[in-house]
A = this chain, B = another copy of it.
Amino acid sequence: MQAGSPSGISQALAQFIAHCHWEDIPEAIRHEARRSLLNYFAVALAGALDPTLDIAVATYGRFAASRQASLVGRPERFDMLNAAALNAMSANVYDFDDTHHPTIIHPTAPVAPALFALAQAQRMSGAELLLAFVLGVETECRLGNAVSPGHYARGWHITSTCGVFGAAMAAGKHLALPSGQLVWALGSAASQAGGLVETLGTMAKSVGVGNAARNGLLAALLAQQGFDGPAAPLEGARGFLRVTADQPDLSTVTQGLGEHWQLAANTYKPYPCGVVLNPVIDACLALAADPRLRQAGPAGIERITLTGHPLLRQRTDRPAVATGRESQVSAQHAVAVALARGRAGLAEFSDSAVRDPALCELGAKVAVREAEGYSVDAVQVRIDLRGGMQLQHSVEAARGSAARPLSDSDLEQKLRELGGAARPGWNAAPLIDALWRLEDAPDAAQVMALAA
């Protein structure tokens, strides 16, 4: 189709997906897919233990039609639709999952769980799973590009709303649906797209993320049986793009398909908190190791001043927080915990960490200043010690940013840490190994056995 033409977007996207082969995927993108899956299992293993999942597993457990598919990090087994939903919830519950930078979509949570669930129900090779995964991510992120930034700004939880299309196309690819049926699947996905920013910070968010994986898979299964849909579910006058964005950029859905891959813009978080806090934590962890600060101790600190991008102050200047979840967007808490404990993992952003009076006291000394010339990945942290001494640390590009991505071994370490946190004796090596070698696996479902 012509670049920029608004007509036939659904058809063109479906045709691309139907005809794309593993050989068409560049090695860099294949590797990014593996990295995304490593990160997925890391965050899902952690999230699986959250109370959100306890309630969801109990409630969804009343409606398990089979034990075909397993959960990451939990012993229960479900039919593939429920397993897709619950694993997507686990992956995203802490917002510690991957981020597609242009859209802030968390791309893996809706797509990978749908595919692994399908792989447990009907044989799928590792390469087939990776190809379907790449195409699912391509779909959801391209739709996200088309509706950004107005869509999220209006209040749509973009991971959920766009994710259902990603899951539908990933599952549809594995089911080898022809392009006409892929368009039908986009239609049933469009009927099910939903999720609101208002629910962030509550369990209700997770229903929407779970639905994205579940309902995308359902849309593909329905289309396979002949369940039809409109000709232009995406670009139609009352289709997804126009209804959920005031000024969608329709051309970006198909422009450069097969040349520019969305996975190239995927990033992974080193810390379980809002991305604008990444440079702050980098700086504070460096300062925590400074012998002068160790000698002074928390009592010797008079004032801590953060200088950074306006978003840092606007989103995270939160002196008093009540819950672990709230602490994930509090500069005061992030600074205090990084300086006092020299760590910034899930335990440091938990309800119990928030109740530590020493951290409250230290956090009360933090001030956040806006300044020109800082990117969201940069910050300057200055500590005034009693007696007049000043310590200072600046970060230009935070760990996990596009300029300084987590390395492969960082991701391995993240999986080891998050997977092993509440599972003493658990050995992450077989899972890590299986994910790096997934392309050659005859049965992708075997990965799930290593993550249960």
Contacts and interface: CB of A to CB of B under 8 A. Distances in A.
Interface of A: 52, 55-56, 58-59, 62-65, 79, 81-82, 154-157, 160, 184, 187-188, 190-199, 201-205, 207-208, 211, 215, 218-219, 221-222, 225-230, 232-233, 236-240, 242-243
Contact of A187 (B81, B202, B211, B215): B202
A202 B190 contact: no
A227 B157 CA distance: 19
A430 to B, nearest CB: 31
A189 B205 CA distance: 10
A208 B196 contact: no
Contact of A208 (B82, B192, B226): B192
Nearest to A51: B226
A81 B82 CA distance: 12
5 contacts: A65-B79, A187-B198, A187-B199, A198-B236, A198-B239
Contact of A225 (B58, B154, B215): B58
Nearest to A224: B59
Contacts of A190: 196, 198-199, 204
Given A191-B196, A194-B191, A196-B190, A55 B225 contact: yes
A188 B58 CA distance: 16
Contacts of A188: 203-204, 207
B238 A155 contact: yes
Contact of A194 (B58, B193, B197, B227): B193
A196 B238 contact: yes
A238 B198 contact: yes
A225 B192 CA distance: 24
A81 B63 contact: yes
A58 B218 CA distance: 12
A227 B198 contact: no
A5 to B, nearest CB: 19
A215 B211 CA distance: 10
Contact of A62 (B65, B157, B184, B226): B65
A204 B232 contact: no
Given A62-B79, A197-B243, A198-B230, 8 more contacts: A55-B222, A56-B222, A187-B202, A190-B198, A192-B207, A202-B230, A204-B227, A204-B229
Contacts of A52: 227
Contacts of A226: 55
| Of A207, A219, A243, most B-chain CB atoms within 10 Å | A207
A79 B63 CA distance: 7
A208 B219 CA distance: 11
B207 A222 contact: yes
| Of A52, A62, A196, A219, most B-chain CB atoms within 10 Å | A196
Contacts of A208: 191-192
